[in-house]
Amino acid sequence: MQPFSYSRARTAAEAVEAIAAGGQGTRFLAGGTTLYDLMKLNVEAPRRVVDVSGLDELADFDTSGESELVFGALAKMSDVASDERLIRDYPALSESLWKAASQQLRNMASLGGNLLQRTRCAYFRFGEPFQCNKRKPGSGCAAIGGIDRGHALLGGSEHCIATYPGDWAVALAAFDAVVDVLGPKGRRSIPLQELHREPGDSPDIETTLAPDELILRIRVPATDAGRASTYHKIRDRESYAFALASAAVAVAFEDGAVSEARIAIGGLATRPWRAFEAERSLIGKPLTEEAAKAAGARALEGAKPGHHNAFRIELGARTVADALMIAKARA
Amino acid sequence: MEDQQPRPPAHRFGGELTRREVVAAAGAVPLAAMLPTAAAAQSHLAGRTGHNEATVTVRTVINGTPRHLELDPRASLLDVLREQLALTGAKKGCDHGQCGACTVHIDGRRVVSCLTPAVQTDGAEVTTIEGIAPDDQLHPMQQAFIDHDALQCGYCTPGQIMAAIACVQEGHATSREQIREYMSGNICRCGAYVGIVAAIEDAAPKMRRA
């Protein structure tokens, strides 16, 4: 691991000052479960690290608000996952957290850091001799034409097909969450759906967050569709694995017909992927198994298979369909 | 998922030495010299550049004993425990948070010590497998692991027990299903899972009584 200088910030303002003063190669450290892991692999090699894990001002969360839920960026995944109100009123959000990682990692990982979790693409993580445009821009992509069983079917480019690995951001995408950030120029808010970028021709730039901006909190507008929601996650094993396919789904009904539908899919795309067309296909009709299957197929429209991952198109469509029926049963 | 793909060959970490090579190279050097600091002994630090410019002062309490440590900020809690403080109960399995063998408690919550930069334990209380029961006694969870034959080789066992104690304390040991879900971060390559689940089921009510 490359040597780095280490400092602790006491306030968010101090953290942003420190990263601005540090210049290029300075990184925020929160739970460490992604950054420190990748530093051990020399995939991340910051010169300076600003530890923000002690910023108590960002550690709280509040799920009792009438108009919105507010999550501090440093709230721990495990604490939020077990919040009684969240489990009752927004089960998809709770499930997206407790179905991720292990309890040890959830005790460490922060909600803000989790949004920025980097891909599990083996060619990215394990370095030379493999090419990776994300790790080393311009070097090529060993995943394209390589072992791509877990790689993205949606949102890829000729330069990168690395899957966005997170669950929480997928559920947040379904609920139109907003991310508040602080940078040297002050505060701004980014819709969650605009936080993550598709790789295009610059896979190394993964988000619209500037390197000197700190996530302060995540806000989720309250919705009645929250109760009839689920985060359905299909894995190679039943627990502690990344998604082969997942779906965050929420529905509401009026007179037996769907009045609101929210669908985002995970494990299948280069970023959290909202399936608006699939949502629209459900509105105004009863939610039958046939309608759910059709919506699932629509959510995967445009999916581009590689050598080993075509099975995940059908798997993804069925995951969405099953999630819709699970959510319906909770209405 | 993607992690399970074939991995590149062993030379993938550039010029770094493996832990085995570090130990082998140390050869007949006296034990004390083999364990100078966590930083020097840590395999992924060894082959890279030398020392960090500055160490960081950390005050922490480990198994009830206050410790004042001068740490290379790169050092993991796992390496500091094992190499600097001779607390070798926490085991290094994967060193990447994937196996749970290094599980310890920080302020009563289970974490993987391999992904915990040791500098982040400043002001915290750390409990390792060495600190869960008085010297001449076993914790009810340790006794239950013995009673239910919940191990074969034993390498994952300290991590399993630390995770299991926390699992009970969190209230996540109310059914076999729930135990399996909340113990999924601890891998046992011998496959002693049936015994592990049985041990936790057995120890949970005893821990609540204790």
> Can you give the residue range of the structural domain that contains B125?
15-131
Q: Does B110 contact A119 at a Cβ distance shorter than 8 Å? A: no
pLDDT of residue B38: 42
Q: Does B1 contact A240 at a Cβ distance shorter than 8 Å? A: no
We report the CATH number of the domain holding residue B77 as 3.10.20.30
pLDDT digits (tens, 9 = 90+) for A114-164: 999 999 999 999 988 999 999 999 999 999 999 999 999 999 999 999 999
Q: Which of A89-103, B47-61, B157-171 has the lowest mean pLDDT?
A: B47-61
| pLDDT > 70: percent of chain B | 75
Structural domains in chain A plus CATH codes: 5-51 (3.30.43.10), 227-324 (3.30.390.50)
Does the structure show a pLDDT above 70 at B20? Answer: no
Does the structure show a pLDDT above 80 at B23? Answer: no
Reference A213, options A75, A60, A32, A13; nearest CA is A13
Distance in angstroms (rounded) separating the CA atoms of residues B146 and B165:
15
User: B117 and B29: one domain?
Assistant: yes
Instruction: State the nearest Cα–Cα gap between B209 and chain A, in angstroms.
Output: 24
Q: Does B111 contact A104 at a Cβ distance shorter than 8 Å? A: yes
Does the structure show a pLDDT above 90 at B18? Answer: no
Upper half-sphere CA count for residue A162 (Cβ side, 13 Å): 33
pLDDT bracket for residue B5 (50, 70, 90)? very low
Does the structure show a pLDDT above 50 at B26? Answer: no
Any alpha helices (H) in B35-191, and if so which ranges?
A: 38-41, 43-46, 77-79, 140-147, 157-169, 176-182
pLDDT digits (tens, 9 = 90+) for B56-96: 999 999 999 999 999 999 999 999 999 999 999 999 999 99
Instruction: State the nearest Cα–Cα gap between B104 and chain A, in angstroms.
Output: 9
In-domain check, residue B3 = no
Q: Does A105 contact B185 at a Cβ distance shorter than 8 Å? A: yes
pLDDT of residue B45: 46
pLDDT of residue B51: 53
pLDDT bracket for residue B149 (50, 70, 90)? very high
**Distances from the Cα of A199 to the Cαs of A152, A202, A203, B49, B67, in angstroms?**
11, 6, 4, 33, 46
Contact B89/B71 with Cβ under 8 angstroms? Answer: no
User: B162 and B124: one domain?
Assistant: no
Does the structure show a pLDDT above 70 at B50? Answer: no
pLDDT bracket for residue B53 (50, 70, 90)? low
Candidates A4, A6, A163, A242: best to mutate against B (most CBs of B within 10 A) is: A6
Does the structure show a pLDDT above 70 at B7? Answer: no
The two counts, helices (H) then strands (E), for chain A are 12, 12
Structure tokens at B198: 């049985």
Does the structure show a pLDDT above 60 at A72? Answer: yes
**Residue written as tokens 């310890």?**
B104
- Total domains in chain B come to 2
ipTM attached to this prediction: 0.96
Of A49, A126, A241, the CB nearest to B12: A126
Coil, strand or helix at B125: strand
Of B53, B166, B181, the CB nearest to A3: B53
User: B115 and B148: one domain?
Assistant: no
We report the CATH number of the domain holding residue B177 as 1.10.150.120
User: In the predicted model, what is the mean pLDDT of chain A?
Assistant: 97
Distance in angstroms (rounded) separating the CA atoms of residues A256 and A88:
22
